[in-house]
A and B are shown apart, each in its own frame.
Chain A
């Protein structure tokens, strides 16, 4: 386990150094992504200003929501950007080189590339969460909950991402399928959390876990709800274990592309 962590840290460090070589491009990607992310904050704040509070949500909660989603997305897709490239690895037959690696397969895939633009998501997420905590005049216990819930949301997001990317092994043209399934999961997580009530809340909590990475963590913090936090912890462990099991099953479906090349 320690060896795997050391390898992951080494790979991430090398990837960051490689990305930072093109300094202008790196920082343009970071700042571009930060500006890009403001869009959903603007949209939902406008909606609240026009319509008023929906489901008890205020402007502060919108900042919290966008902060959580951007931060977990940014962390996973910056240091674990290789997960996103799985469709190309599989359809292009480049997955073979990961299978023969003596390292842990998932760690090796995830850390095989670095997403510079996702660093912008990380910065944006941190700024939004700080604004959110400031706007709700957070207590010490709420600040503590925020840190714990970020970790819980990270586990959930990583788990769901692995599960979605594992679908790649079942299709011959997997890119479009994976993209659509990921959008089905991710896009609702950016929507105004207060508008999810009744059936939609149930569906996007237990069937499609979109609300687990932003909406529910924010509500748990705002309401200082420990039962909600416990529920999130249980669901995150469930999704993570399920995704590992599914990934193992899915990899067995892989058939080398057998391209008539000698690697490149």
Chain B
């Protein structure tokens, strides 16, 4: 999939341009808001906000959410029957495929975005340590696994529900809000902040928390929450997949 993506540079340029403009416009607006409030809101600076939002948008370029629609399309088109009859695990295959499709755009977005942000706003103190690099890597990998599991649950529901799109929209928007996309989690009201921390939707985007000053004291708890949801959702996905597998009758011929 990585090779496949490299073969279409025009599409990559257009996609990167789309994300850059969306993120860029948002940062310009936040720059204005912070400048009218003396540069600090809720103890948060524009520099931290910019990096937090960038991490969210960079993570989104992995397009892990497309896993749900891929599974739905397989089920609707009947391709799932063929894939299930092959000597591979269908879910693993779909997850690796999704990850492969997103890695190259992610790499390009991270390199270009990091250069742009370093030049525009600089690197905050919270990011200039090996502790940040180490914990970011752990939270990033756990975030990928958790995101794949969240969207796998949605996708597998297509075995029972005729059209999962509405459910997908709701889950996707929950990830968007609680992940700190357009509004950094640090600016949430207290109750919403707690929901963002304890729900699997917010937990899948903990990469955005790594730049906050509070990260050093709260990282262990957040990694624990991610692991907890991975175990729970892992059990749910494997149960659902087992039930779904029995539902499908593969016809030979």
Interface residues of A (CB under 8 A from B): 22, 24-25, 28-29, 31-33, 35-36, 38-40, 42-44, 46-47, 49-51, 54, 117, 173, 176-177, 179-180, 183-184, 187-188, 191-192, 195-198, 200
Contacts and interface: CB of A to CB of B under 8 A. Distances in A.
A30 to B, nearest CB: 8
Given A176-B11, A195-B29, 8 more contacts: A22-B162, A36-B172, A177-B14, A179-B14, A180-B14, A192-B29, A195-B30, A198-B32
Given A32-B167, A47-B183, A188 B11 contact: no
A29 B25 CA distance: 30
Contact of B11 (A39, A173, A191): A173
Contacts of A51: 33, 37, 41, 187
B17 A180 contact: yes
A258 B225 CA distance: 56
A191 B29 contact: yes
B22 interface: yes
Contacts of B221: none
B22 A31 contact: no
B182 A29 contact: no
Interface residues of B, number: 37
Interface of B: 8, 10-11, 14-15, 17-18, 21-22, 25-26, 28-30, 32-33, 36-37, 41-42, 162-163, 165-167, 169-170, 172-173, 176-177, 182-183, 187-189, 192
A36 B162 CA distance: 19
Closest 7 CB pairs of A and B: A32-B166, A180-B18, A36-B169, A195-B29, A39-B173, A25-B163, A176-B14
Given A50-B42, A117-B165, A176 B15 contact: yes
A interface: dominant SS: helix
Contacts of A31: 166
A46 B185 CA distance: 11
B interface: dominant SS: helix
A190 to B, nearest CB: 9
A32 B25 contact: no
Contacts, number: 97
Contacts of B165: 29, 32, 117
B166 A28 contact: yes
Nearest to B188: A46
Contacts of B21: 183-184
6 contacts: A25-B162, A29-B165, A38-B173, A50-B41, A195-B30, A200-B28
A233 to B, nearest CB: 26
Contacts of A173: 8, 10-11
